[in-house]
Structure 1
């Protein structure tokens, strides 16, 4: 997949995340992370907004795991 196609895929995921419910955000997090990983592997600059979005989604995924832990 070309860098341009990867960026377009990331932007599509970003658009789906706008206003998405928490379960959809958790579902899309690994997909966005994979696209960003592929961009980095290709040596392509990853826009800061996508890095921030990925970091926020990773934080949400970690929080969701802790929310389900018994006390």
Structure 2
């Protein structure tokens, strides 16, 4: 059993303090925590799943913001 709660607490704090235009950059770190939990057969908290989905949407949006029109 990995102690991921402190890691997610730290990430959540960093994400909440991050600029709204750059917080999507934390998505890979949150994804790794989720992957680790899944690999260890542990349940992924709903709040962690929601945060990951939110960061994914922001990352996709950021890709389109940088596209020339």
C-alpha RMSD of matched pairs (Å): 1.3
Extract unaligned runs of 5+ from structure 1.
none
Using structure 1 for the length normalisation, give the TM-score. 0.84
Matches within 5 A, 1:1-71: 2-4=1-3, 6-21=4-19, 22-23=21-22, 25-71=23-69
Contact 2:25 2:59 in 1 (8 A): no
Using structure 2 for the length normalisation, give the TM-score. 0.86
More helix by share: 1
Contact 1:3 1:44 in 2 (8 A): no
Extract unaligned runs of 5+ from structure 2.
none
- Poorly superposed stretches of 4+, deviation over 2 Å: none
